[in-house]
Amino acid sequence: MANSSQREQALSLLAAANNHGDLAVKLSSLKQAKDILLNSPDLSLELFPFFVEIQSSHEPLVRKTLIEAIEEISLRKLEYSAVLMQVLLTLLSDDDSVVAKQSIVAGTHIFCKVLDELTLQFQRHGFVERWLEDIWSWMIKFKDAVLQIALEDKSVGPRLLALKFLETCVLLFTSDNDSRGYTNEVNRSVQVFNISWLAGGHPVLDSVALQSEANKYFMILLDLLRLASSLPGSITISVVNSIFSSIVQG
């Protein structure tokens, strides 16, 4: 449990991250606050309102750093991440493409981590804890939001990453695919979700529904390819690469 000194220090740092006039101080304060929360993750729950305030910062780099902090806390202390997911979802639609892109990257890493934990927890203990079910419900919202970004005529950068997320889902949810890993800049060890783990059933994940979703996303990629003449060149290249990867590795 966090002591009062840690709490006061974290509050002071988050206040500086939100209100200080110097960008370097804002960033340094936010990173220091993140380190405290990693060592005392229960503070994440208490200090969530201050994270909400920081997401409204006028500095895109502060908002991007906030997403990086949320990702690192979530990947290391997954059980505390549900309370941080609202910030992640909000910043998916950030006006600054760099912030929106970072939100997709962070969300994708957390999405994969949650899949791993859902399957491993059930395999090891025969049940899934409620907190993990709650986080998965946030991941479903994230997945649906990223799908909309992939389909909408928005900034190219976020859309490219949204398409990459669709490719990731196709690979993750396709049977007999041996290339469904993801890398994590925070923790270099790689977990690999395999849908075959769900063959005996799962209380939260439906393998048939997930494979149907993979087919849906693959058809979306094909439909986008048919519209190639009206898409930016980089989008078309991304779609082609995703289709090719899905066929070769699927």
Chain center to CA of 121: 20
Q: Quick one: pLDDT band at residue 187, thresholds 50, 70, 90?
A: very low
Closest CA to 158 of 108, 120, 212: 108
Would residue 129 count as lying in a domain?
yes
Closest CA to 242 of 159, 157, 167, 149: 167
| Dihedral angle, C-alpha 234, 236, 237, 243, nearest 10 ° | 140
Structural domain count, the chain = 1
Would residue 207 count as lying in a domain?
yes
Structural domain of 124: 83-249
Would residue 1 count as lying in a domain?
no
Would residue 114 count as lying in a domain?
yes
Give the CATH number, domain containing residue 219: 1.25.10.10
Q: What pLDDT digit, counting tens, does each position of 68-102 carry?
A: 999 998 998 888 888 889 899 999 999 999 999 99
φ, ψ (nearest 5 deg) of residue 190 = -105, 125
- Residue 82 three-state SS: helix
Would residue 61 count as lying in a domain?
no
Q: Average model confidence (pLDDT) for the chain?
A: 87
Cα end-to-end span (Å), the chain: 45
Q: What is the largest CA-CA distance in the chain?
A: 60
**Average pLDDT for 163-182:** 77
Question: DSSP assignment, residue 206?
Answer: -
CA distance 30 to 70: 11
17, 20, 53 from 38: Cα distances, Å: 17, 23, 20
CA 65-163-171 angle, to 5 degrees, is 105
Identity of the residue numbered 99: V
- Residue 186 three-state SS: coil
Which two tokens mark 29? 């304060």
CA distance 171 to 211: 10
Q: What is the pTM of this model?
A: 0.88
Query: What percentage of residues in the chain have a pLDDT greater than 90?
Result: 60
Would residue 102 count as lying in a domain?
yes
86's CB contacts (< 8 A; 6+ apart) are 52, 138
Would residue 241 count as lying in a domain?
yes
CA distance 161 to 163: 5
Q: What pLDDT digit, counting tens, does each position of 194-246 carry?
A: 888 898 899 999 999 999 999 999 999 999 988 888 888 898 888 898 888 87
Give the best-scoring range by mean pLDDT among 49-53, 147-151, 224-228: 147-151
Would residue 39 count as lying in a domain?
no
Closest CA to 141 of 217, 73, 87: 87
Chain center to CA of 110: 4
Tell me, what's the pLDDT at 46? Answer: 83
